Structure 1
Amino acid sequence: MTGTDDGRTRRDVLKAAVAVGGSVGLSACLDAVGYQGEDRPPVPSGPADLSTLPARQFAWGEYIRRDAFGNEQLPSHQTLLYLNLPGEGPPTADQRATVERALTRLDEAYAWSHEGLLRSVAYSPEYFQRYGSAPEGVDIYPARRLSAFETPDFDRQDALLHLASDRPDALLAAELALTGERERANGVAFDAALTDVFEVADRRTGFVGAGLPASKQDGLEGVPADGPVPEASPLFMGFKAGFAKNQAPEDRVTIEEGPFAGGTTKHVANLRQRLADWYGEQDFTEQVMEMFSPMHAENDWVEGVGENLGDDSRVDETLDTIREQAREHGRVGHAQKAARANRDEDGGVKLNRRHFESADDGIASLHFPSLQREMSEFDAVREAMNGQDLTEVTPAVRQRVNNGILEYIFVRHRGNFLVPPRDLRALPAPDGTAELA
């Protein structure tokens, strides 16, 4: 890969540019890819008829890359903007109109694809309390502790804007337009910005894809200095995730009834990773046991980062004997624990997980967005992932040790949000109305 004068790769500069953000980050991004101004390759624009855009804001599956097995390949670069509405009480019709105008300009500017820009705006339970009630027909509530050993900061901001693209320059330019720092993005004039209504409370960034974590690991807190992350891995812990048959289809996570039908609930956690012991004390077989299951290791089901698994992690084959595996091997797997609660009566998967890595603040961490029809479904899966019941099987499995990957991850933030359908994306009321001025 092409290097820079100080020895960094272009990929390093692109990730750093997204993390820095602002005009400085955009300029660095454009310099890194070797073009500015008229030489810039075009980013696909939005459709002439905006009504052709998906009614579901979270409908990304048909608009991103897939690998040879049909597994979704999420956009390489992602940004989370946490937004607060100043003051108290519900928003005004004028504020709704301003937010809708800004988002409409974004629709005009960027194609709904990984080559353009995927996006969604979601609202917290705390936002709806401005009206004195919860959103009708939605199983959602403020985020809370989901294990006895975690001490997260809770994300109580009013709204969450999620932007994702394979083009870091598109990601940054869109953000600048939405935050009022640029008047145009991808040829479209923005006559409104989200920051005309909201204040940006926090900004978090990340990346996902083969080679990206490996290229970022040098000097990163939480990753050993000898650079153990495999080049082929899309994630810091060295394995693939998000196998198609272990992901809920978008229809399964869609709210089906009520004023927010066509929406979904979204949990976003940020997990700090400390991988010295993961790479320093566990060999490959032990990593497979703790990431997938002891049965995976015993049967040599996983090669390398797990590409050989195709579209199915095979975790369902390990569930009936999880206690016996724990007793025999003194370990249980992360995937097999969580899967126990992540299947409905027909065997279908309940959660659609769209996680990506982060190097914000020089720390290895994981952003974990999860979509589900009901927020309680996520909480149940997390309880199963805690594996507290399995500590009764053998003294070797403890609250965090030999208990999946809990020894290596530490929850920093949790937040719950409602992703409304597109026609309610601009500051909706709990009854599903969003009257514009």
Structure 2
Amino acid sequence: MVDGRGDRTRRDVLKAAVAVGGAAALSACLDRTPEPVPAGTDQFSSLPERQHAWNDRVRTDEHGNTLLPKHQLLLYLTLPGEGPPDEADRATVETALQTLDRAYERSSEGLLYSIAYSPRYFDRFEDDLPDSIDLPEPRALSSFETPTLDRQDALLHLASDRADVVLAAEEALTGNEDTANDVPVEATLTDVFEVSDRRSGFVGAGMPADRQDGLAGIPSSNPVPKESPLFMGFIAGFKRNQATEDYVTLSQGSFAGGTTKHVSNLRMRLDDWYEEQSFEQRVAEMFSPVHAERDLVEGVGANLGDDSGVTAEMIDDIEDHARQFARVGHAQKAARANREADGTPRTLRRHFESTDSDEAGLHFPSLQREISTFEAVRTAMNGTDLTEIPTIRQRVNNGILEYVFVKRRGNFLVPPRSLRALPTPSGTTPGLD
């Protein structure tokens, strides 16, 4: 018999299972989630060529907004030594990834994943990436940040609505389990890579509220709304404000079918956000002052449907709004660079929350054809051009910059699935071709 204390301990482990990781967390998950996991396939040609093709394999809300998998894990991987990997390394990585394909249905009920490669990885080769691939080394993107730059060789991103799936996949890939969903593990990523960092997260209504108690960066009053999928208390990722997967996909060249990925990691300091700012002020700084003036946002913003409500007028009149309302909105600023002339969004954001290091954090993966697109959006978000208005300071009354702090940045190329195993800069996989 398990006593009440044991039940509480297991619930605590489950709540933080992916953050904790390891065999104990996996065992606790398996004890509580006995339902079978949808199996994958050995018909690999039936899988999408785009590793980033997730949208038709996840849940959506009543408005058609994509609901990202609840549990997410980022494994930063480093190749030992110098120089390029060899054909044996490439075959090992492909075999390891095929284990996941066989074990788990490619869906949020099973497992979604991608592997991406950094500029430093491609520097191991004598040849350069084609000029058409915009993949610079990561750098600070504002005058007020000093991020650690992620230059590991590769990034594996795992995501599922089931914590046990994420944990089991990790354990299999790192050589700690002999099977994954009853599929034998024939090779592991750690036969080739070293795991240099592990970062975990989650997203979904109720999950931030359930994890806020005692968390650094969250007021002791535990103000995060139960309905919110994110710590800042509002819905994000509205369908009409997100680029399509088609739009962010490289359409030609040796890596056609791939995309680029920027991943930043931010810590949050939300005491002032919740305790000094009113709801109307939070709406103004998250969306726009006009949103607050017109009462456009109710609660966490579900009433907005599939669009944030940031209009062309709000973008064009941002300086007038700054003077009139003495503040500007985060979405309002970013949209200046995140929309084409016809209003088409340019980036596909797939951000999720984190309690790594026992602090409120945010992992921010962004997909786009060119890294320079993300950098332009970040420049617009900085709002430095608006600080000539006396009430707008670099980090005060300037969207959400007062409450989020960049810790890390990294740039990666997500190749098409056929090139996912240690590709060369010319877009080949010798030994697998």
Q: Give TM-score, length-normalised by structure 2.
A: 0.97
Counterpart of 1:265, as a letter, is T
How far off is 1:420 after superposition? 0.1
Shift of 1:345: 2.8
Point out where structure 1 has 5 or more consecutive residues left out of the alignment.
none
What is the aligned counterpart of 1:102 among 93, 96, 105? 96
Cα separation, 1, equivalents of 2:422 and 2:76? 14
Q: Aligned match of 1:385 in 371, 381, 385?
A: 381
The answer on 1:89 being equivalent to 2:89 is: no
Identity among equivalent positions (%) equals 64
Query: 2:343 aligned with 1:373, yes or no?
Result: no
Secondary structure class of the residue paired with 2:124: helix
> SS state of the match for residue 288, structure 1?
helix
For residues 160-179 of structure 1, give each alpha carbon's deviation from its aligned partner in whole angstroms, at most 9, with x where no partner exists.
00000001111101100000
2:322 partner SS: helix
Aligned match for 2:353, one of 336, 352, 357: 357
Q: Which amino acid aligns with 1:363?
A: E
Matched, 1:291 2:286: yes
> CA 1:273 to 1:41, structure 2 compared with 1: closer, same or farther past 3 Å?
same
After TM superposition, list the pairs within 5 Å mapping 1:113-124 onto structure 2: 113-124=107-118
CA contact (8 A) 1:4 1:10 kept: no
| Equivalent residue letter for 1:76 | K
Equivalence for 2:419: 424
Report how many residues are paired: 428
Q: Hey, what does 1:148 align to over in structure 2?
A: 143
What letter matches 1:15 in structure 2? K
Instruction: Specify which of 54, 78, 82 is matched with residue 60 of structure 1.
Output: 54
Partner of 1:403: 398
Q: Distance in 1 between matches of 2:235 and 2:216?
A: 22
Look up the match of 2:326.
Answer: 330
Report Cα offsets for 1:301-357 as digits up to 9, x if no partner.
Answer: 000000000000011241121111100010000000000000123221000000000
SS of the counterpart of 2:311? helix
Tell me whether 208-217 or 340-349 shows the greater mean CA deviation.
340-349
Deviation string, structure 1 residues 361-394 (Cα, Å, up to 9, x no partner):
10100000000001100000000000001111x2
In the alignment, is residue 21 of structure 1 matched against residue 24 of structure 2?
no
Aligned position for 2:238: 243
Matches of 1:48 and 1:196 in 2, distance apart?
A: 22
Matches of 2:233 and 2:223 in 1, distance apart? 9
1:315 is paired with a residue whose SS is: coil
What letter corresponds to residue 425 of structure 2 in structure 1? P
SS of the residue 1:423 aligns to = helix
Change (3 A) 1:6 1:385: farther
Inter-CA distance 369–232: structure 2 relative to 1 (3 Å threshold):
same
Which residue type is aligned with residue 285 of structure 2? E
State the AA in 2 paired with 1:374: E
Aligned amino acid, residue 193 of structure 2: F
Aligned ranges 1:244-283 → 2 under 5 Å: 244-283=239-278
Question: 1:11–1:215: 8 Å Cα contact kept in structure 2?
Answer: no
SS in 2 for 1:145: coil
C-alpha displacement at 1:24, in angstroms?
A: 1.4
Q: Distance in 2 between matches of 1:316 and 1:415?
A: 31
* TM-superposed deviation, 1:9: 9.0
For the pair 1:212 / 2:207, whether they are aligned, the reply is: yes
Measure the CA separation in 2 of the matches of 1:75 and 1:11.
20
| Cα distance in 1 for residues equivalent to 2:224 and 2:8 | 18
Give the deviation of 1:25 after TM superposition. Answer: 1.4
Q: Which amino acid aligns with 2:346?
A: K
CA distance change for structure 1 residues 89 and 116 in 2, over 3 Å: closer, same or farther?
A: same
Give the letter for the 1:168 counterpart. A
- Give the CA deviation at 1:29: 2.0
Counterpart of 2:188 (choices 193, 196, 200) is 193
Partners of 1:288 and 1:86 in 2: CA distance? 48
Secondary structure at 1:308 match in 2: helix
Q: In structure 2, give the amino acid aligned to 1:289.
A: A
- Structure 2 unmatched ranges of 5 or more: none
CA distance in 2 between counterparts of 1:387 and 1:204 reads 29
Assess, with a 3 A threshold, how the Cα gap between structure 1 residues 7 and 340 changes in structure 2: closer, same or farther.
Answer: farther
How do 1:163-178 residues align onto structure 2 when only pairs under 5 Å count? 163-178=158-173
Deviation at 1:10, TM superposition (A): 7.0
Cα contact 1:15–1:207 (8 A) shared by 2? no
Q: Distance in 2 between matches of 1:297 and 1:287?
A: 8
Aligned equivalents of 1:100 and 1:48: distance in 2? 13
Other structure's SS at 2:245 match: coil
Question: TM-score by structure 1 length?
Answer: 0.96
8 Å contact kept, 2:42–2:101: no
The residue that corresponds to 1:229 in the other structure is 224
2-structure distance, mates of 1:206, 1:9: 20
